[in-house]
Amino acid sequence: MAVNFGYSISTTRVINFDNCDFNLLHQLEEIVPSYKRCLNCGACTATCSAQQFTKFNIRKIKSLFTSAQYDKLAKELDKCMLCGKCTLVCPRGINLRPAIMNMRKILSNK
């Protein structure tokens, strides 16, 4: 069986940071300060329970959120089971589970 790590090759694209609205990100960073420490290692995605069933990449969601690309994120986040595995493996000690809960909340208030 081919091992699915939850990664695939992303298409190249350009994000113009000057046109981004980082307001939601700042809201999140206020509530979950550890969010800033991410080094995009992908350990969270590799261990994720939801990822074992479907294309769901929490690291990618995080990096999209960080670069203010909020489209479709809310729908994606609905797949998370809040099991907390990602939080336990994160080498940077990021409080990921609360970050996910708050991302959901912030996105639904948008």
Partner 1 sequence: MQNLFHPFVLPFVLGTIILFAICIWKFIRWFRHFDRLQRAILRKNIFSWKIIPALWEAFREGLLHIRISRQNLILGYMHRSIAFGWFLLIVVGFFEAHLTPLNSHPVWLAIFYRFFIHEHHLFASSEVFTFIMDLLLLYVLSGIFIAFCKKIYSKAVGMKKTTKHVLFDHFAKVSLWAIFPLRLLSESLAANVYQNGGFLTQSIGNFFSPWFAETFLTTSWTMYSIALGTFFVALPFSRYMHIFTEIILIYFRQMGVHEHLERTGYTMYELNACSRCGICIDNCPLNKDLNITNVQPVYFLRDLRYKRGTDAVADNCLLCGRCDAACPVNIDLLAIRQQERNKREQDHCDYSYLNNIQPFNAIGRVGFFGGCMSHLTPGITESMKAIFEEVEQKYWFLDEERTICCGRPLMQQGYLEQAAELRRKNSELIKKSKISVLITSCPICYQSFKNEYKLSIPIMHHTEYIMKLLETGKLKLRKDDLRTVYHDPCELGRGCGIYKEPRQILKKATHLVKAKHEKEESICCGINLGDTLIDIRQQTQIRDAAMNNLMYKNPDQICTACPMCKRAFNHATDFPVKDIAEIVRENMIKK
Contacts (CB under 6 A) with ligand SF4, residues 48-67: 48-50, 58-59, 62
Q: Among 27, 49, 63, 69, which residue interacts with partner 1 (rule: CB under 8 A)?
A: 49
The answer to whether 102 and 28 are in contact (CB under 8 A) is: yes
End-to-end CA distance of the chain: 41
Q: Is the dihedral of CA 30, 36, 52, 76 positive or negative?
A: positive
How many other CB atoms sit within 10 Å of the CB of residue 21?
10
Please say which residue, 15 or 83, places its beta carbon nearer to ligand SF4: 83
| Binding partner selected for residue 106 from ligand SF4, partner 1, none, CB under the kind-specific 5 to 8 Å limit | none
Length of the chain: 110
Binding site for partner 1 (CB under 8 A): 33-34, 47, 49-50, 52-54, 56, 75, 78-79, 81-85, 88-89, 93-95, 97-98, 101, 104-105, 108
